[in-house]
Structure 1
């Protein structure tokens, strides 16, 4: 059983996995934004509240009590905060790759601004008490949902 889990985790690390706060309405809007601009289906999505997210992110020494960031696991590299957003934007359709220009801003400043926004996102956009269920059309791009409470009243 443990060997099967390890095999699954290693297989998943071959994908671009976006870990997001499954209870945050703004985060769901961000996931929808990515899906609409990811015609090649490069990204998979996993709420940070899942057992799978815990297993994958603990390998990178992520404090699971902190859910104020978007994570991007790309191969064996984990991007956090503004670096995750920039790395994602580089792979989206259209001119979103131009967001890479924000890389010239010192990471410390970018992450400060990111964290300031993240700290207020529930107050500004709201929060669900359970993870929001994706629609059937995009459900195959979501992983880890079998281990969290799902709110089907709010479909992505």
Structure 2
């Protein structure tokens, strides 16, 4: 069941790598608590500041405690996933000044890492309820 306290994962809806990441979270999440919204959509426009919706190089998470970007957003999501993925939070010990440049390197090259799929994943009923415009 979703509510206004559920985290929202904002992603680049035109990016194959980002779409893969959303599918990964959907497949591996523990309790189906996460909501999803493209950075190009209405939810992002009404929820995030304009500078965040223009920067498509970062996944963004709106959590009950605030807005998280880059590696902080990724580490926030790990406990929502099934084991063994929460164990990767150990990498949060790596200082932010190292983590975020690595994140940015992957983000800058994400279109080369994975192309947009030729066909879209058809969400099931539960997934559709969590996909925000």
TM-score, length-normalised on structure 2? 0.86
1:33 lines up with 2:24 in the alignment: yes
Report which structure shows greater RCO (CA 8 Å, sep ≥6).
2
Deviations for 1:114-135, whole angstroms, at most 9, x for unmatched residues? Answer: 001100111221247xxx5742
Compared CA separation, residues 133 and 62, structure 1 to 2 (3 A)? farther
Task: Give 2:92's aligned residue.
Answer: 103
Over alpha carbons, which structure has the higher Rg? 1
1:152 aligned residue: none
- 1:53-98: per-residue Cα shift (whole Å, max 9, x none)? 021111xx74322100111111141111011111101221112111
**Displaced runs of 4 or more, over 2 A:** 61-64
1:90 and 1:99 in contact (8 A); partners too: no
Give 1:19 deviation, angstroms.
0.4
- Tell me the SS of whatever aligns to 1:68: coil
d(CA) in 2 for partners of 1:67 and 1:55?
Answer: 16
Among 65, 77, 85, the residue aligned to 1:88: 77
Distance 1:26 1:118 in 2: 9
Structure 1 runs not aligned, ≥5 long: 1-10, 145-156
Q: Which residue does 1:67 correspond to in 2? A: 56
Q: Distance in 1 between matches of 2:57 and 2:63?
A: 19
User: Over the residues paired in the alignment, what is the CA RMSD in angstroms?
Assistant: 1.8
Report the TM-score, using the length of structure 1 for normalisation.
Answer: 0.75
